[in-house]
Amino acid sequence: MSSATALIGAARQADGSFACDVPDGWLQGRTAYGGLTTAMAYNAARSVEENLPPLRSAQMAFAGPVVGHMHASATVLRRGKSSAFIQARVSCDGEPATLGTFLFMADRASPLRVDAPPAPAVPSPEEAEPAMRGKGSAFTRQLEYRHAMSIGDRSKPELLRWVRLRERAGIDAVTELLLIGDALPPGVAPMLQGPFMASSANWTVHLHGSAIATHDGWWLVQTRAEAALGGISSQLMAVWNRAGDAVLSGSQTVSFFPADARQRAQ
């Protein structure tokens, strides 16, 4: 098993870019897991400038599959006094695959505070039942999952699970958060009949606060569909730390189809 820490560390190049062959253990179907691609792009983005403020937001466009040789590089779009926009490009065997725009921004003095919704009341990871055992894409073996809501409820387009990396020593909290934030199946999964495949087209994330952290590596991750029609779903996503503090909110467009649809089309 190739840990994320080892993989990202070995991928760092002298020019600040990141390059590696995508291990089979990090695949999601026929492409690299989107969380890994995002984490690699983020590390390329934060390597292109010194003394960047904390990451606040990222917009990822997963335009093509990432398999084989991955290369992530970044350029500064604009650097101001308190913020920086940095664009990262991920190519696969020389072909463009993913485009990410990262916003780094320092805190500003303000008396206003509006808190994101707190974490739902759920069992602790120690009390919750294991999930995703022997199921799902190859990358799920890199993670531990625990059910945080009723396993048998298939009436809601929502999933809520505790997630943590199996090997997380030496990894920074933001990279860790990006690695686990997209780790659940789509919110429509409980309502689908039979095996299915899913593909994320994009991912927008907003980080809450400048001191992202959790305890024992556990994060509470939620995906919830807003609408689904014609095999395409728009969903909201959220992550809380072990203390119940909201650390990430996001949205995503996902396509889904029966697992045998690709075989029928061939």
- pLDDT for res 134: 73
- This prediction has a pTM of 0.93
pLDDT above 80 (res 135): no
Pick the CATH number of 4-106+122-265 from 1.10.569.10, 2.30.110.10, 2.40.160.210, 3.40.190.10: 2.40.160.210
Q: Quick: pLDDT tens for 32-82.
A: 999 999 999 999 999 999 999 999 999 999 999 999 999 999 999 999 999
pLDDT above 90 (res 170): yes
Residue 168: other Cβ atoms inside 10 A? 18
Q: How far is CA 142 from CA 178, 181, 240, in A?
A: 14, 14, 20
98: β partners: 62, 90
pLDDT above 90 (res 235): yes
Of all residues in the chain, what percent carry a pLDDT higher than 90? 83
Q: How far is CA 189 from the centre of its chain?
A: 17
User: Domain extents for the chain?
Assistant: 4-106+122-265
Residues contacting 208, CB < 8 A, separation 6+: 116, 245, 246, 247, 248, 249
Cα angle at 85 between 114 and 222, to 5 degrees?
45
- pLDDT for res 261: 53
